[in-house]
C-alpha cells in the first residue's frame, strides 16, 4: 500500500519548499491537475498532488473497501518522507483532516486547510446538514454507501451555480466510490493536538456556499489552532474546481509569500 504522486515542475523555481496537495474523499489527484498544479508550477513552486490508496486506475483500487483513515494517513506520511525538505501540505476536505493529523506527527514547512473536515470529526457538520437540508443529507448518506452521485447532488454539494453544466458532467465522470471504513473513521471524535505543531504556519480557508463543511465549522477548526479562517464567498465545497478558483490559488500564494515559504524570487 502506498500513495502515488503527480508532479508539476516549475520552469524556474522560486526556491520555496515543495507543495503537496491532498485530495478529499471520493476524489483523486486529478482534482488538483485541473487548475492548481499548473498554476503553482507557473508561479515557481514545485507542486505535487497525491493519489491516496484505492484510487481508480491504481493497482490497489480493488482493495479500496479495506482501507481506513489510518491507512490514508500512513500513505501520506510516507509521501512526505520522500521530500528532501519538509513540504507545505495543502489538504482539502478529508485531505485537510489528514493534514492536521500529519502535522501532529511529522515536520511540515506549512499547512493549508481548505474546507477541512474538522479534526474533531464529521459528526457536527453532518448534524447541521441533516437539520438544514434533510434531502441532501439523505443523498450524501446513500453516496457514502456506494450509490452513484447525481448531477443535482454534485451541484448542490461541490459547486456554485456559476459552474457550467458541462463542467459538472465532466467532473462527475471522475469521482469514485470511497472506502466506507475511511468515511466511518471521519466520524470518530478525536482530541486535536495543536501544540504538536506549534510554530508551523497554518492557513485555514472555507467556502461561503459549502453545505458539507459550512463556514461555522471552518471557523471552529481555525480556532483550535489559534487562527482566523478566511471564507471565500460565492463558492462551493470544491474550491479548486469552482468558478473563481484563481482567488483561492492567489490567496494561498500570497500567504506563502507572507510566511517566507515562496523562496527569494
Higher pLDDT, 240 or 191: 240
- Find the largest Cα–Cα distance for the chain: 50
Comparing 5-14, 54-63, 79-88, 179-188, the range with the smallest average pLDDT is: 5-14
Comparing 74-88, 99-113, 190-204, 240-254, the range with the smallest average pLDDT is: 190-204
Neighbour-count burial for 28-66, b at 16+ CB within 10 Å, e otherwise: bbbbbbbbbbebbbebbbbbbbbbbbbbeebebeeebee
The CA distance from 133 to 136, in Å, is 6
User: How many domains is the chain partitioned into structurally?
Assistant: 1
> HEC profile for 22-34?
ECCCCCCCHHHHC
Tell me if 170 is assigned to some domain: yes
Per-residue confidence (pLDDT) for residue 108, from 0 to 100: 97
The CA distance from 13 to 10, in Å, is 6
> Do 208 and 215 meet the contact criterion of CB atoms below 8 Å apart?
yes
Per-residue confidence (pLDDT) for residue 66, from 0 to 100: 95
Tell me if 160 is assigned to some domain: yes
pLDDT over 60 at 130, yes or no: yes
Global pTM exceeds 0.75: yes
The CA distance from 108 to 123, in Å, is 28
Tell me if 199 is assigned to some domain: yes
Q: Tell me the per-residue pLDDT of 150-166, one tens digit each, with 9 for 90 and over.
A: 667 767 778 888 888 88
The CA distance from 265 to 262, in Å, is 8
Mean pLDDT across 196-213: 94
Q: Tell me the per-residue pLDDT of 101-111, one tens digit each, with 9 for 90 and over.
A: 999 999 999 99
pLDDT over 70 at 40, yes or no: yes
Per-residue confidence (pLDDT) for residue 148, from 0 to 100: 60
Tell me if 265 is assigned to some domain: no
Q: What is the CATH number of the domain that holds 198?
A: 3.40.50.1820
pLDDT over 90 at 237, yes or no: yes
Mean pLDDT across 84-112: 96
Tell me if 208 is assigned to some domain: yes
Tell me if 171 is assigned to some domain: yes
Tell me if 263 is assigned to some domain: no
Per-residue confidence (pLDDT) for residue 128, from 0 to 100: 87
Per-residue confidence (pLDDT) for residue 248, from 0 to 100: 98
Per-residue confidence (pLDDT) for residue 132, from 0 to 100: 82
Range of the domain at 133: 4-258
Tell me if 264 is assigned to some domain: no
Mean pLDDT across 54-71: 94
Amino acid at each position: 500500500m502506498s500513495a502515488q504522486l503527480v508532479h508539476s515542475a516549475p520552469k524556474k523555481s522560486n526556491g520555496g519548499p515543495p507543495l503537496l496537495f491532498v485530495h478529499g474523499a471520493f476524489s483523486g489527484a486529478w482534482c488538483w491537475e485541473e487548475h492548481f498544479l499548473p498554476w503553482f508550477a507557473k508561479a515557481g513552486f514545485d507542486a505535487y498532488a497525491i493519489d491516496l490508496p484505492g484510487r481508480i486506475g491504481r493497482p490497489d483500487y480493488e482493495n479500496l473497501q479495506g482501507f481506513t483513515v489510518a491507512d490514508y494517513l500512513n500513505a501520506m506520511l510516507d509521501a512526505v518522507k520522500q521530500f528532501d525538505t519538509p513540504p507545505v501540505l495543502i489538504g482539502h476536505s478529508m485531505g485537510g483532516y489528514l493534514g492536521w493529523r500529519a502535522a501532529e506527527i511529522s515536520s511540515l514547512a506549512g499547512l493549508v486547510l481548505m474546507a477541512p473536515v474538522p479534526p474533531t470529526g464529521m459528526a457536527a457538520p453532518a448534524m447541521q446538514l441533516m437539520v438544514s437540508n434533510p434531502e441532501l443529507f439523505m443523498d450524501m448518506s446513500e453516496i457514502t454507501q456506494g450509490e452513484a452521485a447525481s448531477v443535482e447532488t454534485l451541484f448542490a454539494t461541490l459547486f456554485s451555480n456559476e459552474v457550467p453544466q458541462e463542467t459538472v458532467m465532466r467532473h462527475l465522470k471522475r469521482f469514485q466510490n470511497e472506502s466506507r471504513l475511511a468515511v466511518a473513521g471521519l466520524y470518530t471524535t478525536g482530541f486535536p493536538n495543536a501544540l504538536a505543531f506549534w510554530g508551523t504556519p497554518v492557513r485555514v480557508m472555507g467556502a461561503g456556499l459549502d453545505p458539507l463543511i459550512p463556514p461555522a465549522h471552518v471557523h471552529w477548526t481555525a480556532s483550535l489552532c489559534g487562527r482566523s479562517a478566511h471564507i471565500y464567498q460565492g463558492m462551493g465545497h470544491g474550491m479548486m474546481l469552482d468558478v473563481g478558483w484563481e482567488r483561492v490559488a492567489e490567496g494561498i500564494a500570497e500567504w506563502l509569500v507572507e510566511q517566507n515559504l515562496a523562496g527569494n524570487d
